[in-house]
């Protein structure tokens, strides 16, 4: 029954996406990359949420909540603040230019070579970090929910590999041959399904705990797991409270304010007003998302008494435990849609970056628009294959899935955000400053990743020699031996900004940068953007006061 529901819903969404996009010209850049600049607020909001909310988010963050509790909601609630800032500050500046990609803005502000470096950094992030983790987490979820190793008679590792290639091939068909509009339309349907299905998990989970009563279940969960409802993480947690004011907001602003895969959805808006409304709606829903991506992890902790072989299995095991079989099929279908959404959104953005920003520069300067789109599609196909090869090895990552993603992305998010922000705010900083930061920034961050273990081992050896044997005390010593990766991101962001400003002072641009205006769409801002944004920020801050 579950398998029939899964196949039925998946085919329904695919058919609907084809029907809605059959009239879009996918051979033009605007048609393939931006859906013909025809997207409304509701479609944008759905696409933003589903591009972000995929299996790596649902499985990974619930896994962290299983281990650490509600403090990990910072990744979701603080995202709402970053989305508000993007909508009211960054978006008008981007859309006045009529750009298709962030590197396109960087070319206008700095030069063509700086744009090429930025495009390559984005493609490295997509191909080595994001695409493989999306495939792995989705495969882990389906493998656990349907007990596929037993069904297929394969080992856990072999089952993950089969799932990875299956999801990847279907995602390629959607993204490479469908374009952004097919992605965005299917996203809206799947986003609604995922929100409904996602809410069913805590609903049935709490009813299980409360012996049929959701209210009793919530009361029991709150009473018996008080330590899981504290947002102030200590130095040994994945989010020490101080990091909220340093690297956490850097990571959020990079993701929502400069990330091509996210902003491409908004660049496809029919007007600035629709883009801002779409982003604000997504920000409000994002504020509520911890009910789906954090609470089930705590419920799983209570239901399984903290006894699972891996924290990342908490969510799929809970789904299997609490949902009726028919609903498991429906939920697997919308989760499959979410995985496909994130996967094919990144593939579509990769095709955009390569075809629009790299192909014409390095391979064929005289290429027609149609030829550039075609080249982007072939590149996306190659990147997808690389990601499918890498994905099964994610299981060997020492940190939890979600922590691994954030640490890996830190190497790129810090320099990229610094370059975009300085590019917007200043007029005299030259391309040289941006190039130095984009190369040196990555090297500095990666160096800290390799330095951390040696500092921690030295601190533990010194503590052990001093006669300290208490496990909790040793954990604190290890955590304090080297700054948390989010603090490192905050420190390096400031360093990168200073480097660019120094280069700008020593060797300023000879020609003052004057932003170009391109009237691709109506750029009249939404008159309620600041008011709505302010209310969303107040909601986020009030949540922290409550907990």
DSSP 165-182: HHHHHHHHHHHHHHHHHH
Instruction: Please check whether residue 203 is in contact with residue 214, taking contact to mean a CB–CB distance below 8 angstroms.
Output: yes
pTM of the model: 0.81
Token reading at 63 = 């896994």
**Cross-strand pairs, 233:** 240
Which candidate, 61, 67, 75, places its Cα nearest to that of 311?
67
* C-alpha torsion 400→405→408→414, nearest 10: -130
Instruction: Please check whether residue 375 is in contact with residue 354, taking contact to mean a CB–CB distance below 8 angstroms.
Output: yes
Residue 512: helix, strand or coil by DSSP?
coil
Token reading at 308 = 């699972």
Helix (H) or strand (E) holding 318: helix 314-322
Tens-level pLDDT at each residue, the chain (547 residues): 555 666 666 666 666 655 655 554 444 444 444 445 667 788 888 778 877 777 778 888 898 999 899 988 988 899 999 999 999 999 998 888 767 778 888 888 898 889 888 888 888 888 888 889 889 888 888 888 788 888 888 888 899 999 999 888 887 776 655 544 555 566 667 777 778 888 999 999 999 999 989 999 999 999 999 889 888 888 888 888 888 888 899 999 999 999 877 887 788 788 889 999 999 999 998 888 899 999 999 999 999 988 887 888 899 899 989 988 878 877 887 788 778 777 877 787 788 778 877 887 778 777 777 788 788 888 888 898 999 999 888 877 655 666 777 788 888 889 999 999 999 899 889 999 999 999 999 999 989 988 888 898 888 888 888 888 888 888 888 888 889 889 999 999 999 999 999 999 999 988 877 767 666 677 888 999 999 999 999 999 888 777 6
Q: Round to whole Å and give the CA distance between 101 and 95.
A: 11
Classify each residue of 6-38 as buried b or exposed e, where b means 16 or more C-beta atoms within 10 Å of its C-beta: beebbeebbeebeebbeebebeebbbbbbbbbb
Which candidate, 346, 500, 422, 499, places its Cα nearest to that of 106?
422
State which CATH number among 1.25.10.10, 1.20.1250.20, 3.40.930.10, 1.20.1730.10 fits the domain covering 26-546.
Answer: 1.20.1730.10
């Amino acid at each position: 029954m579950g398998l029939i529901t899964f196949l039925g819903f998946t085919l329904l969404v695919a058919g609907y996406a084809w029907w809605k996009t059959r009239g879009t010209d996918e051979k033009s850049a605007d048609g393939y990359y931006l859906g013909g600049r025809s997207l409304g607020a509701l479609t944008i909001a759905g696409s933003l949420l589903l591009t972000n909310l995929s299996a790596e988010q649902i499985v990974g963050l619930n896994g962290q909540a299983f281990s650490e509790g509600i403090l990990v909601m910072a990744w979701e609630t603080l995202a709402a603040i970053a989305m508000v800032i993007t909508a009211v500050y960054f978006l008008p500046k981007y859309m006045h230019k009529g750009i298709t990609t962030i590197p396109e803005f960087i070319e206008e502000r700095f030069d063509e070579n700086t744009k090429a470096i930025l495009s390559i950094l984005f493609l490295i992030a997509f191909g080595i970090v994001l695409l493989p983790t999306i495939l792995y987490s989705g495969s882990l979820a389906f493998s656990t929910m349907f007990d596929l190793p037993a069904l297929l008679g394969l080992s856990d590792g072999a089952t993950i590999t089969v799932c990875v290639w299956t999801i990847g091939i279907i995602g390629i068909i959607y993204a490479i041959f469908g374009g952004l509009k097919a992605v965005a339309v299917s996203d809206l349907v799947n986003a609604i399904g995922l929100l409904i299905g996602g809410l069913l998990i805590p609903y049935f989970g709490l009813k299980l705990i409360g012996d049929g009563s959701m209210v009793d279940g919530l009361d029991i969960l709150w009473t018996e797991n008080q330590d899981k409802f504290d947002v102030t993480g200590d130095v040994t947690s994945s989010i020490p409270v101080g990091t909220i004011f340093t690297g956490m907001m850097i990571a959020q602003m990079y993701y929502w304010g400069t990330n091509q895969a996210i902003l491409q959805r908004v660049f496809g808006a029919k007007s600035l007003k629709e883009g801002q409304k779409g982003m604000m709606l997504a920000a409000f829903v994002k504020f509520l998302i911890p009910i789906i991506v954090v609470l089930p992890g705590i419920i799983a902790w209570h239901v399984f008494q903290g006894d699972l072989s891996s924290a990342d299995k908490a969510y799929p095991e809970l789904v299997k435990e609490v949902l009726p079989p028919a609903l498991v099929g429906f939920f697997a279908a919308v989760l499959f849609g979410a995985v496909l959404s994130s996967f094919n959104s990144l593939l579509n953005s990769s095709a955009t970056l390569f075809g629009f920003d790299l192909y014409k520069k390095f391979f064929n300067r005289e290429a027609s628009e149609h030829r550039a789109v075609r080249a982007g599609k072939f590149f996306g196909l190659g990147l997808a294959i690389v990601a499918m090869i890498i994905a099964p090895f994610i299981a060997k990552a020492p940190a939890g899935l979600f922590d691994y993603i954030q640490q890996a992305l830190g190497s790129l998010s810090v320099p990229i955000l610094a370059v975009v922000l300085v590019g917007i705010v200043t007029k005299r900083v030259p391309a040289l400053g941006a190039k130095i930061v984009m190369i040196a920034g990555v090297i500095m961050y990666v160096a800290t990743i390799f330095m951390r273990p040696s500092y921690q081992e030295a601190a533990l050896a010194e503590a052990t020699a001093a006669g300290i044997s208490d496990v909790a005390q040793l954990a604190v010593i290890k955590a304090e031996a080297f700054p948390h990766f989010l603090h490192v991101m905050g420190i390096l962001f400031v360093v990168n900004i200073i480097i660019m400003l120094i280069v700008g002072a020593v060797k300023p641009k000879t020609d003052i940068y004057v932003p170009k205006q391109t009237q691709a769409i109506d750029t009249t801002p939404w008159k309620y953007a600041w008011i709505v944004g302010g209310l969303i920020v107040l909601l986020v801050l009030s949540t922290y006061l409550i907990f």
